[in-house]
Amino acid sequence: MKEQMIEIKFPDGSVKEFVNGVTLEEIAGSISSSLKKKAVAGKVNDGLYDLRRNIEENAEVEIMTIDSNEGVEIARHSAAHILAQAVKRLYGDINLGVGP
């Protein structure tokens, strides 16, 4: 049985075929190992996807890296969630606030 393929279009206009269900992490790795290491998220048809979400249809994809302003913001946001969970585990039943 042949696997269903989808087409991924990149910002430079190039198109590459991948197996249906491919992740952004796999796409980044297929381009280069350094891109895979720097990737933090991606835009898929203008929606924001995490690296492990499956892509199941033809799409326009942009890999976002820690080197970009958007990538830094995503990394900071993720780190804030991790810190909040750590504080809750350490101090139990606490209320976390947002903003000043």
Residue 92 pLDDT > 90, yes or no? Answer: no
Q: What local confidence, expressed as pLDDT, does residue 100 receive?
A: 55
pLDDT of residue 97: 75
Q: What share of the chain is helix, strand, coil (3-state, %, to 5)?
A: 35, 30, 35
pLDDT tens digit sequence for 29-79 = 999 999 999 999 999 998 999 999 999 999 999 999 999 999 999 999 999
Residue given tokens 């048809």 in the structure block: 45
Write down the pTM of the prediction.
Answer: 0.83
- Domain spans of the chain, in order of start: 5-91
Task: Report pLDDT for 46.
Answer: 87
Residues 47, 53, 55, CA angle at the centre, nearest 5°?
A: 70
Check residue 99 and give its pLDDT.
Answer: 60
What homologous superfamily is domain 5-91 in, according to CATH?
Beta-grasp domain (3.10.20.30)
